[in-house]
Structure 1
Amino acid sequence: MKSFAGPALFLDRSDINTDEIIPAKYLTEITKQDLKPYILEDLKLPGFDPKGEKTAKARVVVSRANFGCGSSREHAPWVFEVNDINVVIAESFARIFRQNMFNCGMAAIELPDQSLDVLFGYSGYGDTVIAVDIEAEKISVRGGGREDALSFQISPFDKALVLAGGWVDYADSKY
């Protein structure tokens, strides 16, 4: 089963699009693994380094509204998956990106702005770790000597997809 916990990468911006997640010039790569070095390559945020240690260690991404907008492509969730990032938490997601995450057995967790502000309150700590319990629909965050717990909601079907490991594994178990 995939892990839904680890160091957090905070991307404090709305409307991060699929071209920033994985540039279109890499969509001809043959395997998912070939996408790995290009994660967030075109994302421009003050102080953000796509090749930096924070990106390399990240297992959870926290962002703002409309994450994954732009072109519909499975490559955007795939580049997270091959980099061992199985959770993206945001206020909202582009519909196709969100569904592609669930279809790949990954979690796209939507939180209200106030809850995101709690998470972003941890962005200055180098030791911030976020854990998502899909079954209990709970998030725990700790860092800088602090700890918080948050709740989220996920549809029963999307939860089943994540827990099964994605659409293919879910279908294999049901049909």
Structure 2
Amino acid sequence: MEKFETLTGIAAPMPLVNIDTDMIIPKQFLKTIKRSGLGVHLFDEMRFDDDGNEIPDFVLNKEAYREASIIVAGDNFGCGSSREHAPWALADFGIKVVISTSFADIFYNNCFKNGMLPIVMPQEVVDILMKDAEKGSNARIIVDLEAQSVTSSDGEVFSFEIDPFKKHCLLEGLDDIGQTLSKASAIDTFETQAAQSRPWV
């Protein structure tokens, strides 16, 4: 997993509330267990019509937001079923940060396991960042994980809270497997000592 430190990127405004995981990645695309390749199906039923043509009004189909790496969303983002394919699809598309007033718990935790940063902000701050995102590709938002801050294109700085352990894992690029491997030396020492003290095991 890549380390997350600072991101400067285009933010796509998605003010819709209760964006659920089936909207993020519809159920027909859940057959794969690969984390890559799902980005083309992100928000599939919102991005494409029945013939597979892009729906021009959808934000990620607009030229200004095709390279978006941040989503500023309405309340309760990632609700619905607990599919991990949702953060997989977002990450594969290139989304690294989602800012909202609240997230579904399972989705929130799955983001960290996949190198994404979900940021909870008060409604008044989300409103400011939403308006900032509506400016298009000329407006870049800066997200600094170490400083725990989000800076708007106008230079306004907003702080956010994050669990220290989750912050550490993102900064170091550690998913669940990476956390275990970081303790490899201690694990090897334990196994050697266990084999010596209990050779019958």
Q: TM-score, normalised by structure 1?
A: 0.88
Give the equivalent residue in structure 2 for 1:168.
177
Structure 1 residues 137-148: aligned runs within 5 Å: 137-142=148-153, 146-148=154-156
- Look up the equivalent residue of 2:31 and give its one-letter code: T
Paired-residue identity, %: 36
Deviations, residues 32-89 of structure 1 (Å, cap 9, x unaligned): 2221211112238993254443443110111021100001011100111112211111
1:22 aligns with 2:22: no
- Tell me if structure 1 keeps the 8 A contact 2:14–2:59: no
- Hey, what's the Cα distance between the residues in 1 that align with 2:181 and 2:115? 13
- Hey, what's the Cα distance between the residues in 2 that align with 1:30 and 1:54? 31
Structure 1 residue corresponding to 2:39, chosen from 36, 39, 45 = 36
Give the equivalent residue in structure 2 for 1:109.
119
Give the equivalent residue in structure 2 for 1:57.
67
Deviations, residues 121-140 of structure 1 (Å, cap 9, x unaligned): 21331212112111110111
Q: Determine helix, strand or coil for the equivalent of 1:9.
A: strand
Q: Offset at 1:116?
A: 0.5
- Hey, what's the Cα distance between the residues in 2 that align with 1:46 and 1:65? 24
Q: Determine helix, strand or coil for the equivalent of 1:79.
A: helix
Q: Relative contact order (C-alpha < 8 Å, sep 6+): which is higher?
A: 2
Deviations, residues 2-28 of structure 1 (Å, cap 9, x unaligned): 463311111011100001111110011
Distance 1:60 1:81, change over 3 A: same
> Considering only CA atoms, is the larger Rg found in Structure 1 or Structure 2?
2
Give the equivalent residue in structure 1 for 2:110.
100
Q: Unaligned stretches of 5+ in structure 2?
A: 48-54, 185-201
Q: Determine helix, strand or coil for the equivalent of 2:108.
A: helix
Q: Offset at 1:105?
A: 2.1
1:75 aligns with 2:78: no
Give the equivalent residue in structure 2 for 1:154.
162
Give the equivalent residue in structure 1 for 2:193.
none
Give the equivalent residue in structure 1 for 2:199.
none
1:129 aligns with 2:140: yes
Worse-matched range after superposition: 22-31 or 57-66: 22-31
Cα RMSD (Å): 2.1
- Look up the equivalent residue of 1:153 and give its one-letter code: E
Q: Offset at 1:157?
A: 1.3
